[in-house]
Amino acid sequence: MVWDKIVAYRVDSVIKSVELSRALHGYRDRSNRGRYVYARKGLLDRVPHLQLQKGVLLLREKDAQPLIELLHRYEAEYYVARLETSHTPTHSHHPNPH
């Protein structure tokens, strides 16, 4: 799979941060005093991605727009860049050079 977009984001408001986290990663919803538990899926449950660290995601270009719209909705500060990939390795490691 080719990851061709990197998205970095942050949210200053704690309330907005929790809401965005739930929208991205999903959450467990409880009803009737915890008697019933439902798994609510987030956007990232449906979109292939790699999470490099908190607030930094790699994804396919075609999957970036729904994420950007969600970040905008929750007033996140974000940065999006297109990754240019080459098929030439930039680094190789040979543990036994002889």
In angstroms, the CA 66 to CA 22 distance is 15
Q: Are 83 and 3 in contact (CB under 8 A)?
A: yes
Residues 23-80: pLDDT tens digits?
999 998 888 877 889 899 999 999 999 999 999 999 999 999 999 999 999 999 999 9
The pTM for the full model equals 0.75
Query: How is residue 14 annotated by DSSP?
Result: H
CB 7 within 8 A of CB 56: yes
Tell me the domain boundaries of the chain: 5-82
